[in-house]
Amino acid sequence: MLSGFSGLLQLGLRQYSIFFSYQLSVISYQLSVISDH
């Protein structure tokens, strides 16, 4: 039970970190576009 929960937690953390890094790249791209103009 506990191992399954920790596995689920690791999977969620991995997906969250991927989503977070994607959001960061989108934000930095928008900032660079804004500072260009």
- Sequence letter at residue 32: S
The predicted structure's pLDDT at residue 36: 76
Quick: pLDDT tens for 1-34: 678 899 999 999 999 999 999 999 999 999 999 9
Cα-to-chain-centroid distance, residue 17: 4
- Sequence letter at residue 12: G
The predicted structure's pLDDT at residue 1: 65
* Helix residue ranges per DSSP H, the chain: 2-36
The predicted structure's pLDDT at residue 22: 97
Residue 7 backbone zone (phi > 0: left; psi -120 to 50: alpha; other: beta): alpha
